[in-house]
Amino acid sequence: MANGTAQSSITMRKDAWWVAPLVTATILSIFGLYSTWRAFSHADFLVQPYLSPFYSPYLLASWWPLSPALLILWAPLGFRATCYYYRKAYYRSFFMAPPGCAVRPLAKEGSYAGETRFPFILQNIHRYFFYAAGVILIFLWIDALHAFKFEDGFGIGVGTIVLIINAVLLSMYSLSCHSFRHLVGGKLDVFSKCPTRFRIWGKVSVWNEHHMFWAWVSLFSVALADLYVFLLARGVITDIRII
Ligand code: FES
């Protein structure tokens, strides 16, 4: 009888295992809605010397009728969507496959195919998104440095700090990526023959241990950096000039 009850219940866990997937689903949904609205709006993304990270690099193509953000956002969004950490996060929170350790998955038993079939087999292109997102990251740094260039010369505003912090956090997210770790230290039989690569791999491995942390803080920073430029452009807030 006890066994029968255990098998029919979703889990025997007594802790609040559902909190993490619920919070994850809520935050990712808010971010998804906000970034989609901003990407399509094509307005209030530039206040000199600040450019919203959603529009970096700002491409003006005469043949493209929609927001130029859509020309570039596929790279960072594809990078996040195929990220090893986010995969775990949204498989649990949205697909409930499974929603937590020792919790029964929503899908029928035996139907789980992992990432061996379409569409999830496409997750394997993560390393290529890493390269594409790396190019975007270079432009984000150029824009962050441009944020020191005011009309009257060199300066630092709150927006400058916001864009620099965002570039740093996004860099840490990329540099702690599993694909980057493999790029640096993979396909080597003997580390002692490549001491430099070994040293870099050791560093990247330390960052990689905290990849989840970088994934979340960079998600917040990119959305908040965009929100900051948006509120400035709308005149809701004023940038404070520090220097
Ligand atoms: S594993 Fe998360 S960005 Fe590569």
Structural domain contains residue 242: no
CB of 104 shorter than 6 A to ligand 1: no
CB of 213 shorter than 6 A to ligand 1: no
Over residues 231-240, the pLDDT tens digits come to 999 999 999 9
CB of 179 shorter than 6 A to ligand 1: yes
Mean pLDDT, 10 residues at a time, the chain of 243 residues:
56 95 97 96 95 94 91 96 97 92 86 86 97 98 98 97 98 98 91 93 97 98 98 98 95
| 8 Å CB contact between 233 and 46 | yes
What is this structure's pTM? 0.92
Best residue for ligand 1 mutational test, from 88, 91, 126, 216 (most atoms within 8 Å of Cβ) = 126
Give the distance (Å) from ligand 1 centre to CA of residue 38.
24
Structural domain contains residue 10: yes
Structural domain contains residue 219: yes
Nearest CA, atom 2, ligand 1: 83
C-alpha distances in angstroms, 157 versus 30, 38, 51?
A: 28, 23, 13
Structural domain contains residue 120: yes
User: Quick one: tokens of 103?
Assistant: 């919790």
The pLDDT, as a whole number, for residue 69 is: 95
* φ and ψ of 234, to 5 deg: -80, -10
The pLDDT, as a whole number, for residue 3 is: 47
**Residue span of the structural domain in which 71 resides:** 2-234
Nearest atom, ligand 1, residue 177 CA: 4
Token pair 């959603």: residue: 54
Q: What does the alpha-carbon distance between residue 106 and residue 97 come to, in Å, rounded to a whole number? A: 6
Q: What does the alpha-carbon distance between residue 51 and residue 57 come to, in Å, rounded to a whole number? A: 9
The pLDDT, as a whole number, for residue 214 is: 98
CB of 87 shorter than 6 A to ligand 1: no
Structural domain contains residue 243: no
H-helix or E-strand containing 18? none
Structural domain contains residue 74: yes
Nearest atom, ligand 1, residue 178 CA: 1
| CA nearest to 80, candidates 192, 207, 179 | 179
Rg, C-alpha atoms of the chain: 21
Give the distance (Å) from ligand 1 centre to CA of residue 136.
15
CB of 211 shorter than 6 A to ligand 1: yes
Structural domain contains residue 149: yes
The pLDDT, as a whole number, for residue 114 is: 82
Q: How many domains does the chain have?
A: 1
The pLDDT, as a whole number, for residue 106 is: 86
Nearest atom, ligand 1, residue 174 CA: 3
Structural domain contains residue 240: no
The pLDDT, as a whole number, for residue 2 is: 43
